[in-house]
Structure 1
């Protein structure tokens, strides 16, 4: 009997340490654990997905430390009271004032600063720099195109996208959670205004360049601005630049009188080919060729040189409104 015990002891010692611990752990798992876990999973599936909760409700949350860390992550120096004001929505301020009234607090303490003024200032700074940046980066694009691209950069969707990726979602004081795109965009504009008051307008300009203007990276500018009447616009541009009269010419076709018909049209001016385009009919191919010619004239083709985000924009001439 002792021989078999010795053999069993050798086999146990020969086992890997992890397997021995696993066997011991299985011995200590109670029989009620598995049914309990199944019941908890069933209840969670029945209730549906858990609603997102703000991190401000966590025990270890320290709002002042989060504000300080927000500025350091971005490499900026903010005045913390201004930064807190930038993250306070008007709806939240009204809600807190109403709570104070119900508690009978004196009228002097009712006023809570919100981010309306900082957001207006930040919006002026952002628009001024974006317009100056586009004017210097895309000098051949007409003002209509520059305005369309600027509208994309300053739209609520773009600003909310930038704001959420900078980590503002849990810092915003608002009556809703998660914050709406409008609240995210407005808070980002207020952060720009707070940075201008804390470190100067030049730092705010660089902030706009680094986080808003860079949204143009790898973007097809024709998706952001598509002229409604490209052939007419091309004719106007050619007249302004004295390139000659615009003349569309049919270069080729295939599959004529079939559902797979394709036409190729070229746009000429003074015997120079400006652009080519394809389409299922001649008018569509002509419009496509006009767009191709405009891309070449405005230097916004897909193979153009990437934007130079280190470009020194003349900020002295930027008007803040």
Structure 2
């Protein structure tokens, strides 16, 4: 009797196992229903056949679900700026788009009627005229111990097409631009961002435009190494000239430590000394490179461009600052001198 009961229980266990295996086979690991299998299979092979055919690249505005007016409104809301629709259309219309429209009208034999479509050239010029003096005044306010070449280098970096195009892409300008190409170039995207600043100058005024520049343009230099942006060439020669301007005719580079000489892993550390005080140090795979990096480090400390010294303000902390008081240009590098009050602190030993 016990044998019969064991056989019955074993049969029940086998039936349960078969039932679970059948249920597992009728659905995928992602929990899809059985009736979805055929649909997904058809969709997969349709996609394969569609991708096998080369299709021309199309602009987003060529699709049926594209509503340019709604996109302009959404763009304005994302930035929390109440642009007028007409002004935004002008900002996003490149000169090449107007020229392309004229050529297409001529090819179609349409009468030569001058189009009333405006391009963003005028607004971009207004934006540039506002950007240049304000960015320089902002930098001079926070970088009080640098020569004018440093201010110009950081300004040129922020005003470059690469940086402005990157900012324009991140705030969603790319697909809204009307130009003669499907993918706008960096120059076109930078022109659009300048035009947006020019539109703010016209509609909102100077103070509101400055807040926009602080929030979207100047924040790009946050946490960046100003010395790398400046990319000062021949740092040791520059250090020698700066020291001569301050009445110091000699400096002494010393080899502090080294490892792996005559190997591919060689490393040398050189320190720059003035009056037996270490003012900067650097390392490199050769002694000459280490000397250059030591001079680079000494200049960084003199110009107060260390991460702890370079503290910019953004947002509400910077809105009420009078940057107009910092419009006067600094001395050039060949004439730059340490401030009398900071002379002892800037040449103190860092050992």
Q: TM-score with structure 1 length normalisation?
A: 0.81
State the alpha-carbon separation in 2 of the partners of residues 173 and 249 from structure 1: 60
Matches within 5 A, 1:36-185: 36-47=42-53, 53-101=58-106, 102=108, 104-105=110-111, 107=113, 109-185=114-190
Contact 1:135 1:146 (8 Å CA) reproduced: yes
Residue 85 (structure 1) shift: 0.6
**Aligned to 1:300, what secondary structure does the other structure show?**
coil
User: Per-residue displacement from partner, 1:187-229 (whole Å, max 9, x unpaired)?
Assistant: 1111111111111122222211111110111212232122211
Report what 1:6 is aligned to. Answer: none
Matches within 5 A, 1:228-243: 228-242=233-247
**Aligned to 1:177, what secondary structure does the other structure show?**
coil
What RMSD over aligned residues (CA atoms) do the two structures have, in Å?
3.1
Please, which runs of 5 or more residues in structure 2 have no aligned partner?
1-23, 329-351
**Aligned to 1:160, what secondary structure does the other structure show?**
helix
Residue 281 (structure 1) shift: 2.6
Pick which of 133-142 and 288-297 moved more.
Answer: 133-142
Residue 29 (structure 1) shift: 7.0
Instruction: Give runs of ≥4 in structure 1 deviating > 6 Å.
Output: none
**Aligned to 2:295, what secondary structure does the other structure show?**
helix
Residue 247 (structure 1) shift: 2.1
Contact 2:141 2:326 (8 Å CA) reproduced: no
State the alpha-carbon separation in 1 of the partners of residues 177 and 225 from structure 2: 33
State the alpha-carbon separation in 1 of the partners of residues 212 and 220 from structure 2: 13
Pick which of 291-300 and 78-87 moved more.
Answer: 78-87
**Aligned to 2:253, what secondary structure does the other structure show?**
strand
Change (3 A) 1:41 1:237: same
Residue 251 (structure 1) shift: 2.2
Change (3 A) 1:28 1:224: closer
Residue 236 (structure 1) shift: 2.0
Pick which of 147-156 and 71-80 moved more.
Answer: 71-80
**Aligned to 2:227, what secondary structure does the other structure show?**
helix
Report what 1:26 is aligned to. Answer: 34
Matches within 5 A, 1:131-280: 131-242=136-247, 245-280=250-285
Contact 1:136 1:313 (8 Å CA) reproduced: no
Contact 1:244 1:270 (8 Å CA) reproduced: no
Pick which of 193-202 and 300-309 moved more.
Answer: 300-309
Contact 1:132 1:313 (8 Å CA) reproduced: no
Change (3 A) 1:155 1:51: farther
State the alpha-carbon separation in 2 of the partners of residues 315 and 203 from structure 1: 15
Residue 172 (structure 1) shift: 1.1
Matched residue count: 299
State the alpha-carbon separation in 1 of the partners of residues 32 and 237 from structure 2: 82
Contact 2:95 2:121 (8 Å CA) reproduced: yes
User: Per-residue displacement from partner, 1:73-98 (whole Å, max 9, x unpaired)?
Assistant: 21223232222111101111112233
